[in-house]
């Protein structure tokens, strides 16, 4: 690895070759010796900087460095030739009348300060050259996004019928409930799960699939810098947490890892990956941990390259994926089609966020998106996500992870969804689905959840769009503002007119779904699907009438709390007379295993033998 960074350093400072040869020609013997010593010192300084700071190794950055050394070297040699190896200072010019204003100013400045003035002028001119060159690359990169947009693998659909939008029906699908903030807090509270936990920390985590379940994985990292690392050399393992179970506790997996981003020298994960990234940029702030189905940890990082020297936009088709084994330190670099099966996030959320922004704004060209163009189809991603600079939210759909974002108008006064972008995190294919209905943005859904149905002043986060009874529905997780604990589910019909009150609040996904279905039926008159499972029969043991139009009861020999919503359209007035001792049967969405969550009873299946609601006597 040391020899690799030495090679990279030689490439970077190779711009000095021409100035060095020139200097060897004009200098005397002593000058050649000191010049050679100076070049060696510059090499060592550049080598240390390259090794520790890991500069961008994409070809445009390497060319910039080469030009910097070339121009800087030529300036220094020109000054040395003029004032050191050229036989002394030339006679001072007393007249500059025939020169232009700029030339006169430079000549007077250099006449006053001698060779220092010449050197200063040369440095200023070099800086001007680099500023002009940088401005040109920025201008080309901004005004020519077409090659980057064309490199995005896209699948554009005119409707949302085939969108990878998870379906919630009769509890067969459980929404992601654990927001990253909650998981991070819970994991930090569990750091005492292993020995010497005080010297470690959790700095980042990644969502992925593990044995067909969506989980969060967070590596333990060194806290305290170099001396902590020297003392321990390895981190003890990582945490894993179920993303869909609000009662899930973080599980610490003991798997000592030598090669991590918080390690030093050749054990630094990012440094080892950088040693395989020549010609590419390492995307993201650091490598991210993923595990295979056996629990073996790997660090993964996306390597992208710019379109060209002048156009610094990324090529979203020709990228690489670096995978580091944290136990052995071996790095393998894969093309997109050959990534190992256990890698769910082959493209980092930072890269996905950039390409979604480019797709939304510039897929019809640069000028179309400016004030001079027609703004045809110009969109931008919503800003309620948990990754990729708040643009993206990870979804699990049929065993794959997708980065989801709603696309909305660039007009700040509009708050409706124009379509959805689902990016396959493994193949980097951007699937766009146009929305023809009236669907509110996730920001608006969070606003409703926090202002209209949130007397406890919880904080809404992780808005996810699901399909319930065929209708797009926002599921928002409400967190305690102080400690990020999960508090409530909020289901909101996403039709953009939520003032009519089609929402449900609950402690768990199942009971909230049943309540939401009841309210949806009451509003629309459309009968929702009855809950699946076995019919529950028994005798009412206790019953309570609440102030918010609910009947709560428990059965004999069954501590599960069941609920009837008296405001639902299917509620019959005779149900108001049910009492202790009545024999009933019904189907209900199951509550939690600890019986602390209320199970909502399906009114279409509810029967009370004491009231004879199932025969003609009840009429």
- Are 311 and 321 a contacting pair, CB within 8 Å? no
The answer to whether residue 617 scores a pLDDT higher than 50 is no
| pLDDT per position as a tens digit, 372-399 | 888 888 999 998 888 888 899 998 888 8
More confident call, 178 vs 401? 401
Query: What is the residue range of 59's domain?
Result: 1-85+105-145
374 and 520 in one domain? yes
- Are 394 and 207 a contacting pair, CB within 8 Å? yes
Instruction: State mean pLDDT over 52-71.
Output: 92
Q: What per-residue confidence (pLDDT) applies to 196?
A: 84
- Are 507 and 488 a contacting pair, CB within 8 Å? yes
Q: What per-residue confidence (pLDDT) applies to 10?
A: 92
- Any domain includes 98: no
491 and 545 in one domain? no
Q: Which residues pair with 600 in a beta bridge?
A: 563
Q: What per-residue confidence (pLDDT) applies to 616?
A: 44
Instruction: State mean pLDDT over 169-193.
Output: 77
Binned at pLDDT 50, 70 and 90, residue 523 comes out as: low
From CA 63, how far away is CA 43, in angstroms rounded? 17
Least confident range from 361-370, 432-441, 503-512: namely 503-512
Closest CA to 284 of 378, 404, 392: 392
Closest CA to 403 of 386, 383, 380: 386
Q: What per-residue confidence (pLDDT) applies to 100?
A: 54
Instruction: State mean pLDDT over 456-473.
Output: 83
CATH of the domain at 590: 2.40.50.140
Neighbours of 594 (CB within 10 A): 9
- Please give the structure tokens belonging to residue 373: 């163009």
- Any domain includes 63: yes
From CA 228, how far away is CA 225, in angstroms rounded? 6
| pLDDT per position as a tens digit, 241-299 | 998 887 788 999 999 999 999 999 999 999 999 999 999 999 998 999 999 999 999 99
Rounded-to-5 percentages of helix, strand, coil across the chain: 35, 25, 40
- Any domain includes 617: no
328 and 224 in one domain? yes
337 and 191 in one domain? yes
Least confident range from 73-77, 187-191, 573-577, 611-615: namely 611-615
Q: What per-residue confidence (pLDDT) applies to 116?
A: 64
CA distances for 471 relative to 20, 435, 441, angstroms: 71, 12, 15
Instruction: State mean pLDDT over 308-334.
Output: 96
556 and 517 in one domain? no
Q: What per-residue confidence (pLDDT) applies to 526?
A: 58
The answer to whether residue 426 scores a pLDDT higher than 50 is yes
More confident call, 517 vs 114? 517
Q: What per-residue confidence (pLDDT) applies to 618?
A: 39
417 and 342 in one domain? no
| pLDDT per position as a tens digit, 397-418 | 888 999 999 999 888 777 788 9
Q: What per-residue confidence (pLDDT) applies to 279?
A: 94
- Any domain includes 365: no
- Any domain includes 444: yes
More confident call, 390 vs 58? 58
460 and 499 in one domain? yes
Neighbours of 96 (CB within 10 A): 15
- Are 399 and 370 a contacting pair, CB within 8 Å? no
Among positive and negative, which fits the CA dihedral 168, 431, 397, 460? negative
Torsion of CA 61, 66, 72, 76, to 10 degrees: 160
Last residue of a domain, one of 145, 166, 197: 145
Closest CA to 209 of 44, 17, 345, 116: 345
Whats the size of the chain, residue-wise? 619
The answer to whether residue 113 scores a pLDDT higher than 60 is no
pLDDT > 90 fraction of the chain, expressed in percent and rounded: 43
Q: DSSP class of residue 158?
A: S
498 and 570 in one domain? no
111 and 19 in one domain? yes
545 and 520 in one domain? no
Neighbours of 274 (CB within 10 A): 26
More confident call, 499 vs 425? 425
Instruction: State mean pLDDT over 59-68.
Output: 92
- Any domain includes 259: yes
Q: Which residues pair with 379 in a beta bridge?
A: 409
Least confident range from 108-117, 273-282, 499-508, 532-541: namely 108-117
Report the chain's mean pLDDT, rounded to a whole number.
Answer: 84
- Any domain includes 166: no
- Any domain includes 592: yes
Q: What per-residue confidence (pLDDT) applies to 94?
A: 46
Q: What per-residue confidence (pLDDT) applies to 593?
A: 53
From CA 368, how far away is CA 290, in angstroms rounded? 40
478 and 427 in one domain? yes
520 and 541 in one domain? no
Query: How many structural domains are present in the chain?
Result: 4
Residue that the structure tokens 């060194």 belong to: 222
């Amino acid at each position: 690895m040391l020899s690799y960074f030495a090679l990279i350093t030689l490439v970077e400072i190779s711009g000095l070759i021409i100035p060095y040869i020139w200097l060897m020609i004009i200098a005397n013997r002593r000058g050649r010796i000191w010049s050679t010593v100076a070049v060696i010192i510059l090499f060592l300084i550049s080598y240390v900087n390259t090794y520790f700071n890991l500069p961008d190794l994409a070809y445009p950055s390497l060319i910039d460095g080469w030009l910097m050394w070339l121009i800087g070297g030529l300036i220094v040699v020109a000054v040395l030739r003029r004032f050191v190896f050229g036989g002394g200072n030339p006679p001072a010019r007393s007249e500059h009348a025939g020169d232009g204003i700029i030339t006169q100013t430079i000549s007077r400045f250099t006449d006053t300060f001698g060779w220092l003035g010449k050197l200063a002028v040369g440095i200023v001119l070099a800086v001007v050259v680099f500023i002009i060159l940088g401005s040109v690359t920025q201008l080309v990169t901004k005004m020519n996004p077409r090659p980057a947009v064309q490199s995005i693998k896209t699948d554009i659909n005119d409707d949302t019928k085939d969108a990878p939008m998870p379906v919630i029906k009769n509890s067969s699908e459980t929404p992601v409930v654990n927001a990253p903030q909650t998981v991070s807090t819970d994991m930090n509270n569990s750091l005492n799960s292993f020995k010497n936990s005080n010297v470690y920390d959790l700095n980042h985590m990644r969502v992925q699939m593990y044995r067909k379940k969506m989980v969060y994985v967070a590596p333990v990292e060194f806290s305290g810098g170099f001396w902590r690392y020297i003392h321990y050399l390895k981190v003890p393992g990582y945490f894993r947490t179920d993303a869909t179970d609000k009662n899930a506790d973080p599980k610490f997996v003991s798997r000592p890892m030598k090669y991590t981003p918080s390690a030093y020298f050749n054990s630094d994960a990012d440094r080892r990956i950088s040693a395989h990234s020549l010609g590419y940029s390492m995307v993201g702030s650091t490598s991210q941990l993923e595990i295979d189905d056996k629990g073996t940890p790997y660090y993964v990082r996306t390597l992208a390259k710019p379109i060209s020297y002048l156009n610094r936009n990324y090529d979203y088709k020709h990228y690489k994926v670096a995978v580091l084994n944290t136990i052995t330190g071996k790095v393998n670099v894969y093309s997109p089609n050959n990534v190992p099966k256990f890698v769910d996030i082959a493209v980092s959320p930072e890269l996905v966020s950039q390409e979604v922004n480019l797709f939304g704004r510039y897929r019809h060209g640069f000028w179309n998106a400016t004030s001079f163009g027609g703004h045809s189809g110009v969109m931008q991603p919503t800003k309620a996500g948990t990754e990729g600079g708040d643009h993206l939210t990870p979804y699990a759909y049929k065993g794959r992870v997708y980065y989801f974002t709603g696309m909305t108008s660039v007009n700040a006064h509009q708050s409706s969804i124009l379509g959805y972008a689902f990016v396959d995190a493994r193949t980097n294919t951007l699937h766009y689905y146009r929305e023809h209905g009236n669907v509110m943005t996730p920001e608006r859904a969070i606003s409703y959840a926090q202002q209209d149905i949130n007397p406890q002043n919880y904080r809404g986060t992780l808005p996810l769009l699901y399909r319930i009874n065929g209708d797009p529905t926002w599921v928002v997780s409400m967190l305690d503002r102080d400690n990020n604990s999960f508090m409530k589910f909020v289901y909101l019909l996403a039709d953009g007119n939520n003032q009519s009150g089609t929402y449900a609040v609950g402690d768990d996904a199942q009971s909230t779904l049943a309540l939401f279905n009841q309210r949806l039926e009451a509003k629309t008159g459309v009968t929702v699907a009855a809950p699946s499972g076995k019919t529950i029969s028994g005798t009412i043991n206790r019953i309570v009438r609440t102030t918010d139009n609910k009947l709560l009861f428990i059965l004999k020999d069954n501590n599960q709390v069941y609920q009837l919503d008296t405001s639902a359209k299917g509620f019959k007035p005779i149900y108001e007379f049910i009492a202790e001792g009545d024999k009933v049967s019904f189907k209900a969405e199951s509550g939690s295993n600890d019986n602390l969550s209320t199970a909502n009873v399906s009114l279409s299946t509810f029967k009370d033998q004491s009231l004879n609601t199932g025969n003609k006597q009840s009429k």
